Amino acid sequence: MANALVPRQVRLPQVQHALRAAQYVRMSTDHQRYSIDNQVAVMGAYAMAHGISIVRIYKDEGESGLQIKNRSGLMRLIDDVRAGRADFKLVLVYDVSRWGRFQDLDESAYYEFICKQAGIKVLYCAEQFENDGSLLSGVLKSLKRMMAA
């Protein structure tokens, strides 16, 4: 009985590892309210509130969101994901329009799907919906893509 209070196994609390994320930022002109600094600040606050560590940034400054051909930042992000070089599980984007203003809504969804296939979730930090795969988020995201186009 003297040993009844001696723990047989010591269990220390597990260290919570922050989720690793990349940021994708895009701004087509200098006078937009979507400045790179504003996007980074919003995403930084979102990351802090959700225990996310930002490890990489992909940037397209002064580039239209209509096509991917001049967007080296988004092309690098997609290439890193496809090649298995992504050392993150999340991509933080300010909102749906920053991901792109593709005239074909399927193109916007396609690039997000490439990430999803690789186990990487795209989160829109300033949107009023969670990008959680629910019916509601799907409808809202589709509507936002149409508005962005």
Centre a 10 Å sphere on the Cβ of residue 37 and count the other Cβ atoms it contains.
9
pTM: 0.81
Q: Which two tokens stand for residue 77?
A: 């992000």
Written as tens digits, the pLDDT of the chain (149 aa) is 555 555 555 554 444 567 999 999 999 876 566 799 999 999 999 999 999 999 999 999 988 889 899 999 999 999 999 999 999 999 999 999 999 999 888 999 999 999 999 999 999 998 887 888 888 778 887 878 878 77
Number of structural domains in the chain: 1
Confirm whether 32 is domain-assigned: yes
The whole domain housing 82 covers 19-148
Are the CB atoms for 103 and 149 separated by under 8 Å? yes
User: How far apart are the C-alpha atoms of 90 and 48, rounded to whole Å?
Assistant: 14
**Domain annotation covers residue 50:** yes
In angstroms, the Cα distances linking 12 to 5, 8, 19, 70 are: 17, 13, 21, 50
CATH label of the domain that carries residue 73: 3.40.50.1390
